A and B are shown apart, each in its own frame.
Chain A
């Protein structure tokens, strides 16, 4: 790892100032992604600002029945929160499907939002990668793409967003609260992560000095009946090939409310709006689920290594909705 200066911030403003004043400075949460990437030489910050001592580790009720989750709440603590369990089971399930218990004990909500792709060519400094080095090319194209995205990709980058939590957050229209030297902003989840386009190195809407301070979950009654289904290459401790966050309310055989988002297939956590629109107000049956899934996956760009993901995503969407409608 490249040597760096370490600063432990005592309050939010100090943290923000410390990063703003230092080009190439980085916030440090649980370290489970940043330390790994620094050791690989992929991230090379000159200053690391540890934010884990900031008072942002609480989960608070919002007046409308939603929740405000501090950016430093550990993944395990959030998964265990009874309110999350009751109101947003998909969030709890997504967290528990991610990484390992040890990593979840370390990982923070803020860090989870900003974790970087697991594209193996991104991890190998000897490979060409536009995300690491804009303009260098992309070795994943024509390479092994089993883990890569099929939705929202570009010719510059086909990396998948690796987070499980973010898929559930996307389904729930979460809002990310961030603080920079210029003040506080609220960014809807749908705008938080950016598609690669021809600037795959720009991954989020955050300015470099902006700290994620909280994530707000609005009240989403349908989410009380929700599910996160993750499909992967082993039974645990693996990233998603495909995952589905779904909430469904069926009244008299008709879809009264639905939320659907996908992981493992998108260049960013993928809210399946096309599918939701087709489903809403329609029949809650196998055919409708399949049509909705197909509509969502219609624009997929596949390669030999990840072509199976359309079929897998379709099957997983249908199975998850079937389970919720049953």
Chain B
């Protein structure tokens, strides 16, 4: 991605980019025509269901599938005794990057967590499969297991860092500075395990024709899933087709390859039938990792003016899966004189955790931003003012430049819009009948990342444009955003752009993660549009012949120089072409080199200011969020409508994180006790007030089109803003999420 293209894209991005265009796929979604992974019909389709272990660690000594096999309609019961073997993971294969766990499902008699799939029933109907699965009888030799996070936490070991995710930092002697600080807070926070709970449970429909495999899957990483399946089933990558035109929410939970996908493919291979494995909600909890629990310490020392002299942030999380960046925000948010950051991990015999919306940052900002608020109480300083006093000019640890930093603007605008001045700073002073009213703020922060993405752009003789990129439509409006970008880059109306996504036969898109999909694809699409324009220009006759690309503008459905130009249709007709197509490839080597280079030059992130008002029932401690405002610096906004929805969605999930969400893992057995949407409380309509979202909408100068990513920054800071508002309403500082009413009684 050259900067010229970014500049050119920027100059032209005046018409579609930024508009609140309706989603392209909206009509399909409101009529029920949109088809998800479990909804593709196949003649002769068989249905699968999982049998889960009921011990945490052990060896299967006997497995009796007799009763299950006797159920009418059962085709096969696959166990470690009879299932075909999958190939092992290979460290050299990029597909291994998306392994959810290291367990060789049905290839071993070993049980590594309570709930691990140990058999698969395939039957003619979903009911028969599920009923038969409940009849499989298993005996185990149980082994000792480490199951209690709280008990193991003292034995944590340092987390390994890498170039993108760092896990430790020191600047000066923070411990000494803390000891010497005239004003300080030193707090211990805990956050519980959580589950994504996308409303669409994970599902796979798998179909083998000889050595060719077609898979409809609920995946956030089509290209990696294809590699992974090719590796595990020993077929060439080109033989595997992954289709995922619509995914019913992911939030990180569909980024890795989990048991359900592998076992559906295995069952299809073993039975020679197309197989659908739509996980029950319970099976999702037992087979798909969630957010790690953490214990965090944040200690802040300050002088009497509130200038930070020490910032210590340490975290303990669970190992396995994607290591989160719990202390990421603490690296970049405050100009502290000394800093000490450490992340460590504990090993447990539980299903490994995985990325869940802003892994690390969502919970790390809770601890950091609650501690900063507490320091403001100690100092008697307004919490916004305290943040402004410590707002750094350059990255505090490295001295590098911020590619973009608008927190001052975000807080100023937010304070005005939210009516921050009306806040009576005394705790419990704002009361409305039975409700104690409180207002809190916190900073949102999420590093921004751009991943490799391939794309092709094809211009038809009629002037229509087809963008092809293996993007994931998990609810972000991926196709719409890229169409807006391509429309501007080529100077065509939005209606004439079509975008194909969700298919591994398309050029490989980025995975939908790290808030990077739109920006990454934008880089690919812009580069392809640029290439396409050059190709078209080379075909053009007068008045364009001989013009340099830099002189030419794409607008009004064609290329123009000054007042004269030609439509694309004219150019293609003149050249006797029915289409022109340009492709860009995804280069991983280039990606790594660029990421490393950019990391040395800039610190780049999306950020924002979260404003929250809560009402706490004076008798019962029930907390209701009554108002919300977020002001975000996400660089340029591609689609004002869908971006707002994503930011709101992050805030809604953050409210759940703050107040009600918690996966209960029984420390005696390692079993999830509430694997149900009735007992795991995600926010309902009645929990969510109006959420005002404002963008600063100022393009980042260092990314294609100036995008910084909107998918995750919305959830960051939310739990802290709620906790801080609760502190204001009640005078109580809650350190342990979720802030349930018992903690306020």
The docked-state distance in angstroms from the alpha carbon of A225 to that of B357 is 47
| Residues 109-126 of chain A, each 1 if its beta carbon lies under 8 Å from chain B, else 0 | 000000000101101111
Work out how many contacts link A and B, with CB atoms closer than 8 A: 83
Nearest A residue to B280, CB-CB: A39
The docked-state distance in angstroms from the alpha carbon of A147 to that of B662 is 14
User: Is B679 an interface residue when CB atoms closer than 8 A count as contact?
Assistant: yes
- If A233-B681, A319-B620 touch, whether A120 touches B674 (CB-CB below 8 Å) is yes
With a cutoff of 8 Å between Cβ atoms, the chain B residues found around residue A144 in the complex are 664, 666, 673-674
The docked-state distance in angstroms from the alpha carbon of A267 to that of B619 is 24
The docked-state distance in angstroms from the alpha carbon of A242 to that of B742 is 11
**Is B687's CB under 8 angstroms from A235's CB?**
yes
With a cutoff of 8 Å between Cβ atoms, the chain A residues found around residue B624 in the complex are 235
**Is B683's CB under 8 angstroms from A234's CB?**
yes
The docked-state distance in angstroms from the alpha carbon of A7 to that of B134 is 25
With a cutoff of 8 Å between Cβ atoms, the chain A residues found around residue B134 in the complex are 41, 125
Q: Tell me the residues in window 641-699 of chain B with beta carbons closer than 8 Å to chain A beta carbons.
A: 659-660, 664, 666, 668-669, 671, 673-674, 676, 678-679, 681, 683-687
**Is B673's CB under 8 angstroms from A121's CB?**
yes
User: Is B146 an interface residue when CB atoms closer than 8 A count as contact?
Assistant: no
The docked-state distance in angstroms from the alpha carbon of A2 to that of B685 is 35
> Which of A39, A120, A123 counts the most chain B CB atoms within 10 A?
A120
With a cutoff of 8 Å between Cβ atoms, the chain B residues found around residue A41 in the complex are 134
Residue A312 contacts which of B674, B676, B741 (CB distance < 8 angstroms)?
B741
With a cutoff of 8 Å between Cβ atoms, the chain A residues found around residue B666 in the complex are 139, 143-144
**Is B622's CB under 8 angstroms from A308's CB?**
no
Nearest B residue to A238, CB-CB: B681
User: Is B127 an interface residue when CB atoms closer than 8 A count as contact?
Assistant: yes
The docked-state distance in angstroms from the alpha carbon of A65 to that of B103 is 67
**Is B741's CB under 8 angstroms from A241's CB?**
yes
The docked-state distance in angstroms from the alpha carbon of A315 to that of B434 is 12
Nearest chain A CB to B745's CB is how many angstroms away?
5
**Is B671's CB under 8 angstroms from A234's CB?**
no
With a cutoff of 8 Å between Cβ atoms, the chain B residues found around residue A127 in the complex are 669, 671
Residue A118 contacts which of B622, B679, B741 (CB distance < 8 angstroms)?
B679
With a cutoff of 8 Å between Cβ atoms, the chain B residues found around residue A312 in the complex are 620-621, 741-742, 745
Number of interface residues of A (CB under 8 A): 35
With a cutoff of 8 Å between Cβ atoms, the chain B residues found around residue A231 in the complex are 620, 622, 741
User: Is A316 an interface residue when CB atoms closer than 8 A count as contact?
Assistant: yes
The docked-state distance in angstroms from the alpha carbon of A315 to that of B134 is 44
- If A120-B679, A124-B673 touch, whether A235 touches B434 (CB-CB below 8 Å) is no
Nearest A residue to B133, CB-CB: A41
With a cutoff of 8 Å between Cβ atoms, the chain A residues found around residue B681 in the complex are 233-234, 238
**Is A1's CB under 8 angstroms from B685's CB?**
no
Residue B434 contacts which of A233, A236, A319 (CB distance < 8 angstroms)?
A319
| Residues 103-134 of chain B, each 1 if its beta carbon lies under 8 Å from chain A, else 0 | 00000000000100000000000010011001
- If A41-B134, A120-B679, A121-B673 touch, whether A319 touches B684 (CB-CB below 8 Å) is no
**Is B668's CB under 8 angstroms from A236's CB?**
no
User: Is B54 an interface residue when CB atoms closer than 8 A count as contact?
Assistant: yes
| Residues 696-723 of chain B, each 1 if its beta carbon lies under 8 Å from chain A, else 0 | 0000000000000000000000000000
Number of interface residues of B (CB under 8 A): 34
**Is B668's CB under 8 angstroms from A142's CB?**
yes
With a cutoff of 8 Å between Cβ atoms, the chain A residues found around residue B687 in the complex are 234-236
Q: Tell me the residues in window 147-192 of chain B with beta carbons closer than 8 Å to chain A beta carbons.
A: none
User: Is B567 an interface residue when CB atoms closer than 8 A count as contact?
Assistant: no
User: Is A311 an interface residue when CB atoms closer than 8 A count as contact?
Assistant: yes
With a cutoff of 8 Å between Cβ atoms, the chain A residues found around residue B127 in the complex are 1
Residue B671 contacts which of A2, A124, A142, A316 (CB distance < 8 angstroms)?
A124
User: Is A15 an interface residue when CB atoms closer than 8 A count as contact?
Assistant: no
Nearest chain A CB to B673's CB is how many angstroms away?
5
User: Is A63 an interface residue when CB atoms closer than 8 A count as contact?
Assistant: no
The docked-state distance in angstroms from the alpha carbon of A231 to that of B617 is 10
**Is A308's CB under 8 angstroms from B745's CB?**
yes
User: Is A73 an interface residue when CB atoms closer than 8 A count as contact?
Assistant: no
The docked-state distance in angstroms from the alpha carbon of A65 to that of B671 is 52
**Is A308's CB under 8 angstroms from B742's CB?**
yes
User: Is B403 an interface residue when CB atoms closer than 8 A count as contact?
Assistant: no
User: Is B595 an interface residue when CB atoms closer than 8 A count as contact?
Assistant: no
| Residues 305-318 of chain A, each 1 if its beta carbon lies under 8 Å from chain B, else 0 | 00010011001101
The docked-state distance in angstroms from the alpha carbon of A39 to that of B129 is 12
User: Is A3 an interface residue when CB atoms closer than 8 A count as contact?
Assistant: yes
With a cutoff of 8 Å between Cβ atoms, the chain A residues found around residue B130 in the complex are 1, 39
Q: Tell me the residues in window 187-226 of chain A with beta carbons closer than 8 Å to chain B beta carbons.
A: none
User: Is A237 an interface residue when CB atoms closer than 8 A count as contact?
Assistant: yes
| Residues 293-323 of chain A, each 1 if its beta carbon lies under 8 Å from chain B, else 0 | 0000000000000001001100110110000
Nearest B residue to A126, CB-CB: B54
With a cutoff of 8 Å between Cβ atoms, the chain A residues found around residue B741 in the complex are 231, 233, 241, 308, 312
With a cutoff of 8 Å between Cβ atoms, the chain B residues found around residue A3 in the complex are 131
Q: Tell me the residues in window 8-49 of chain A with beta carbons closer than 8 Å to chain B beta carbons.
A: 39, 41
- If A143-B668, A312-B620 touch, whether A234 touches B686 (CB-CB below 8 Å) is yes
The docked-state distance in angstroms from the alpha carbon of A239 to that of B684 is 13
The docked-state distance in angstroms from the alpha carbon of A241 to that of B434 is 19
**Is B620's CB under 8 angstroms from A316's CB?**
yes
| Residues 2-25 of chain B, each 1 if its beta carbon lies under 8 Å from chain A, else 0 | 000000000000000000000000
- If A120-B679, A144-B673 touch, whether A315 touches B668 (CB-CB below 8 Å) is no
Nearest chain A CB to B681's CB is how many angstroms away?
5
The docked-state distance in angstroms from the alpha carbon of A282 to that of B140 is 62
User: Is B740 an interface residue when CB atoms closer than 8 A count as contact?
Assistant: yes
Nearest B residue to A242, CB-CB: B620
> Which of B131, B620, B669, B686 counts the most chain A CB atoms within 10 A?
B620
Nearest chain B CB to A142's CB is how many angstroms away?
7
**Is A315's CB under 8 angstroms from B671's CB?**
no
**Is B620's CB under 8 angstroms from A1's CB?**
no
Nearest B residue to A316, CB-CB: B620
**Is A315's CB under 8 angstroms from B745's CB?**
yes
The docked-state distance in angstroms from the alpha carbon of A191 to that of B226 is 62
With a cutoff of 8 Å between Cβ atoms, the chain B residues found around residue A308 in the complex are 741-742, 745
**Is A235's CB under 8 angstroms from B686's CB?**
yes
With a cutoff of 8 Å between Cβ atoms, the chain B residues found around residue A125 in the complex are 134
Nearest chain B CB to A106's CB is how many angstroms away?
15
Nearest A residue to B682, CB-CB: A234
Residue A233 contacts which of B114, B131, B671, B740 (CB distance < 8 angstroms)?
B740
With a cutoff of 8 Å between Cβ atoms, the chain B residues found around residue A121 in the complex are 673
Nearest chain A CB to B738's CB is how many angstroms away?
8
Nearest B residue to A229, CB-CB: B620
Nearest A residue to B134, CB-CB: A41
> Which of A231, A235, A311 counts the most chain B CB atoms within 10 A?
A235
- If A2-B131, A312-B745 touch, whether A318 touches B660 (CB-CB below 8 Å) is no
With a cutoff of 8 Å between Cβ atoms, the chain A residues found around residue B740 in the complex are 233
Report 17 cross-chain contacts, Cβ distance below 8 Å, ordered by A residue: A1-B127, A118-B678, A120-B676, A123-B676, A125-B134, A139-B668, A144-B674, A234-B684, A234-B686, A235-B686, A236-B684, A236-B686, A308-B742, A312-B620, A315-B619, A318-B619, A319-B619
Q: Which 8 A-B pairs have the closest CB atoms?
A: A308-B742, A235-B686, A126-B54, A319-B619, A236-B686, A315-B619, A41-B134, A120-B673
- Given A126-B54, A127-B669; 20 other pairs, CB 8 A cutoff: A120-B679, A124-B671, A124-B673, A139-B669, A143-B666, A144-B664, A144-B666, A144-B673, A234-B660, A236-B684, A236-B687, A237-B684, A239-B678, A242-B620, A308-B742, A308-B745, A315-B619, A315-B620, A315-B621, A316-B620
Chain A positions near chain B (C-beta within 8 angstroms) = 1-3, 39, 41, 118, 120-121, 123-127, 139, 142-144, 147, 231, 233-239, 241-242, 308, 311-312, 315-316, 318-319
